[in-house]
Structure 1
Amino acid sequence: MKAIAAAATGVAVLAVAGAAIYVNRSTSDEDQWMATTSTSAATSVPTSSTAVVPLAPRSTATPSSIASSSTEPVDNACGPTESEALTEALSQLPDESTTNRSWSPRSIGSNFDPCADLSTILVTIEGATGSSPMQALMFHRGEYLGTGTLDARGFTSIDYPASTEDMVVLTYRTGQSCTACDDGVTTSVRFQWDGQAVQMLDSPPP
């Protein structure tokens, strides 16, 4: 897999090797992004005006060990273990752009499955607090594809009951009155493997 394609309300966003390609939405002013850090050659892009933003190389060394948060062991007959997959993904992921901090080598949420068409591992930055940026690392049969969105977002979680073998559902919480408060707005965003790429079926919050 060399790219991630994201589509919501009729407009596609394709993440190609080492870059994120941004496409203005036809029905909304909201910007949609997908990011990937593959080192393979770029694939063809949709026929829309685009701006390519290359990803910077990761400035810190690859973590030597990973502590997984998975509660149940997963058969790795189809691909790498969760620790191996996370280590490989973090070796390609640049430091978080807002805080300039490296990503913690510990998963804070995961439904990783090397046999699944689509699964994810959530990570946050080193020294994180309750509102720190988080990223969803996407995997196809254990192979790292890229991040769910270009920009890291706080208060992100996996909707485990809604996720399937070929779909990851993330929940984003925004507008709460305090870090520990359960108020605010929750937005569910579905990412689905279509047989060739990942499609973003819903719009994330602004």
Structure 2
Amino acid sequence: MGSRLTLSVLSFAAAAAVAGCGSGDSTVSKTPMPSTSAPTPSAAATPAAPPPPPGPDPCAVNLAAPAIAQAVADLPKDPRSQQGWNPEPVAGNYNECAPLSAVIVKANTNAPNPNTRAVMFHLGKYIPTGIPDTYGFNGIDATQSTGDTVALTFAGGMGLQSVVKFRWNGNGVELIGNVR
């Protein structure tokens, strides 16, 4: 009977030990086990896709605007050479947001000194009529031009440069001054 009693006591002790190892007593349940899967990155740690590049600014000077080529195609021929006009501007400040902007074009000829003229625009639209004579100009003085004023330049025979200003007055273009 002694060996049975010893075996019973041992069985009881083993059962008590197993019963005492509940989830609240075990250090195994309190210690996190290493994870075998990679942690999921949080939304803040995920790099965002870069924003798309901005489109061209419609209010920037754009000498390649389709409106320029269309306006030049609509011009009457150069009176001196009887040729059309080259649609590639020699100079300009075309801006579809400006009350007045202009480009300088030259006659489409192989002559050594082709005729030039200014083509004016109001809010990006060609102004076909009501403009004082704009032949002979070869540049734009950006320092004297504003949103509603264009300062056209031409060089005289002795190398002197002159400036003629045109302004959008709310209804049309007017000549406002000659500056030397």
Higher normalized strand content (fraction of residues): 1
Partner of 1:138: 120
Give the corresponding residue for 1:162: 144
Work out which of the residue numbers 161, 167, 172 in structure 2 matches 1:186.
Answer: 161
Q: Does 1:116 align with 2:98?
A: yes
Are residue 96 (structure 1) and residue 71 (structure 2) matched? no
2:15: which partner in 1?
none
The answer to which structure has the higher helix fraction is: 2
Identity of aligned residues (%): 28
2:101–2:147 contact (8 Å) kept in structure 1? yes
Name which structure has the greater RCO, CA cutoff 8 Å, separation 6+.
1
Closer, same or farther in 2 for the Cα pair 1:81/1:104, shift >3 Å?
Answer: closer
Conserved 8 A contact 2:59-2:98 = no
Instruction: After TM superposition, list the pairs within 5 Å mapping 1:32-181 onto structure 2.
Output: 75-76=57-58, 82-128=64-110, 131-146=113-128, 149-150=132-133, 152-153=135-136, 156-176=138-158
Q: 1:159–1:77: structure 2 CA closer, same or farther, 3 Å change rule? A: closer
Q: 1:110 to 1:195 in 2, by over 3 A?
A: same
Report the alpha carbon displacement of residue 128 of structure 1 after superposing the two structures with TM.
Answer: 4.7
Deviation string 1:26-84 (CA, Å, 9 cap, x unpaired) is: xxxxxxxxxxxxxxxxxxxxxxxxxxxxxxxxxxxxxxxxxxxxxxx962379x98532
Secondary structure, in 3 states, of the residue corresponding to 1:190? strand
8 Å Cα contact 1:82-1:112 kept in structure 2: no
User: What displacement does 1:164 show?
Assistant: 0.6
Partner of 1:137, secondary structure, is: strand
- Structure 2's unaligned 5+ residue stretches are 1-54
Tell me the secondary structure at the aligned position of residue 104 of structure 2.
strand
TM-score by structure 2 length? Answer: 0.59
Q: Which amino acid aligns with 1:159?
A: D
**SS in structure 1 at match of 2:109:** coil
Distance 1:139 1:163, change over 3 A: same
**Runs of 4+, deviation exceeding 6 Å:** none
Q: CA deviation at 1:150?
A: 3.4
Q: Alignment partner of 1:201: what SS? A: strand
Give the unaligned 5+ runs of structure 1. Answer: 1-72, 177-182
Report the Cα offset of residue 196 of structure 1.
1.4
Task: State how many pairs are aligned.
Answer: 124
Are the structure 2 counterparts of residues 189 and 201 from structure 1 closer, same or farther at C-alpha, using a change threshold of 3 Å? same
